[in-house]
Amino acid sequence: MLIVCGLLGLLTAGADAADRTEAIAGALRCARHRGPDESGTWNDDDVVLGFNRLSIIDVAGSHQPLHWPPPPAEDAGRYTIVFNGEIYNYLELREELAGLGAEFATEGDTEAIAAAYHQWGAEAVTRLRGMFAFAIWDARERQLFVARDPFGIKPLFLASGPTGVAFASEKKSLLELAPELGIAGSDELDPAALQHYLILQYVPEPETLHRAIGRVESGTYVTVKAGQQPVQHRYFHPQFVSLPSHAPASAEAEAIVHGEITEVLRDSVAKHMRADVTVGAFLSGGIDSTAIAALAKEHNPDLITFTTGFEREGYSEVDVAAESAAAIGVRHVVRTVKPDEMMEALPLIVWYLDDPVADPALVPLWFIAREARQHVKVVLSGEGADELFGGYTIYREPLSLAPFEKVPGTLRPLLGRASRRLPEGMRGKDLLRRGSLRLEERYYGNARIFRDDQLHEILRQYDPRVSHTDVTAPHYAASEKWDPVARMQHVDLFTWLRGDILVKADKMTMANSLELRVPFLDPEVFRVASALPLAQKITGGASGTTKYALRGALAQIVPSHVLNRRKLGFPVPIRHWLRDEMYSWARDIIRDSGAGHLVDLPAVRAMLDAHREGPVDHSRRIWTLLVFLIWYGIFVERRITPEVPEPAYPVTL
């Protein structure tokens, strides 16, 4: 059990899979960082599977690809599985399956998945409490079953061509396999995906920047037989209770809710602590990571926590995190990041990402993950709390824009036109603009980088038909009758969370062969959080408290100095650095880029100069473009070739 790694598979169409094993082994090398402890491949006539393993539990027994059931069963080895992730309720599953007649030859969770699939078929994915991307080959039915966890914690890419279907934990592995799949023009970019990236700062699922490669979406499984196209099925349909009343609950009712939250979180952390190696925790200055660390300390008195920051006032939570660590009573490790380190590391970081993600916070995350890997093999983190419990300040926006809801729909466009006449940066301009829009038009996640008018000026192949609503419309349609905050949470589950938060969490930790676990993103925690009414998420009006119920539940768990502290995360001072330390570096990236047919490079240079001169802040837009230009130099031009270090970590810690 508990194997985090890089999986890879190829289902051929009219070709001998044995001829593809060398190609699979080569493609696995692109994902060596995901599992440096051992690699393995297996094939039969139709399929070849490969695996890189990071061993956490049952090091001697749960080698992959793994075959089930074990001998001497009559159908021994019918199923072959490769599995990336963790099943935290594997002990309970094994006990239940053993009672139904299943036999096991290992002590791990990989066999539990195969046995569950044998017992319940596709329905097995709904019984798994964990993070996962796995593939099971059924030798009797000659069918491949591929599944990804409900929230998209673990990545899974998919490509199909005339000679087969392939899947992998890393997109770069599928780029290596493109010739084996008979895919012509595998370097061809998807202009709509690029436009979405510049709007959102990430490429939304199921897109990637390469036309030939897509993603298996979160909460989805895929079935495919040799010679046929993959068929995708969504099994996870998140539902939020929608009770818009802001009437406060009674003290007794609140106490019950707080007890439920505390109980389910404590249980989730306990299960996420299952490991035979050292488990640590990331610790920022906020309530989410502090709560996880405090609960983890209950299971590991020698817990180590890790934080990162910068030598610039207002852009570091190091002092607050250190105070929290002292209050909890854990050993604490700090890694300070300097601008020259960020500039040097960024090309390598972008290589690890596969697709560009322009969240500056992923850079310090990469550094602290590298530091943490010197001490532990697994870390817990607080991702997901904001989406589940209503933690983002923008979730208060429906309250601040409530007066605009009284404006007749026919008059709202007039407000938008009025906002456009106001000077850029004028107070109230954006409020007026957003108040003129319906929720479905104005909200598409926490990051809103380029507006349409700005894209038109910077993107050479701008298409006015491409919009953020292409991404969000299905999710708004599924939540049409919910209150505005519940609808925003629902959209974030399918966009911001799986497109930005979880991508950077997985990619930056696995780049350092470090496993990251997220106890908030647990089906049982979601069950409790999704039942909270609006008054238990946002309270006190347009400037009120976020995560109201969660804060109440954690009042006796986290130190008082973080209980109601404003969320920062790992803020990065790029606004200042792009005016000073990073200015020449940024100009060089723009000057050397060969992406001028896609992006107006002189306009980018002008934006950088305008930002340097001030007062307008273009830093997020500039950063988004710089990350793309570096990505283009690596994966398309092949001009930038980061030196990828060979993983050099011990098998056990």
| φ, ψ for residue 50, nearest 5 deg | -135, 160
Verify whether residue 30 is a known catalytic residue.
no
| φ, ψ for residue 189, nearest 5 deg | -90, 155
Rounded-to-integer distance, Cα 222 and Cα 499, Å:
20
Beta pairing, strands 157-161 & 164-168: antiparallel
CB-based burial of residue 155 (10 Å sphere; 0-12 exposed, 13-18 middle, 19+ buried)?
Answer: buried
CA atoms within a 13 Å half-sphere pointing along the CA-CB vector of 424: 7
Only one residue has tokens 């046995």, namely 115
Sign of the Cα torsion 102, 103, 106, 111 reads negative
583 and 608 Cβ atoms separated by less than 8 Å: yes
Among candidate residues 5, 153, 321, 432, the one labeled active-site is 5
Rounded-to-integer distance, Cα 417 and Cα 437, Å:
11
Helix (H, G, I), strand (E, B) or coil at 195: helix
Rounded-to-integer distance, Cα 428 and Cα 157, Å:
43
430 and 604 Cβ atoms separated by less than 8 Å: no
Only one residue has tokens 């946002």, namely 538
Rounded-to-integer distance, Cα 122 and Cα 223, Å:
9
Enumerate long-range contacts of 437-444, CB under 8 Å, 24 or more apart.
437/412, 439/398, 439/476, 439/484, 439/487, 439/488, 440/469, 440/472, 440/473, 440/476, 441/469, 443/394, 443/397, 443/472, 443/488, 443/491, 444/199, 444/200, 444/468, 444/469, 444/471, 444/472, 444/491, 444/495
Return the active site residues.
5
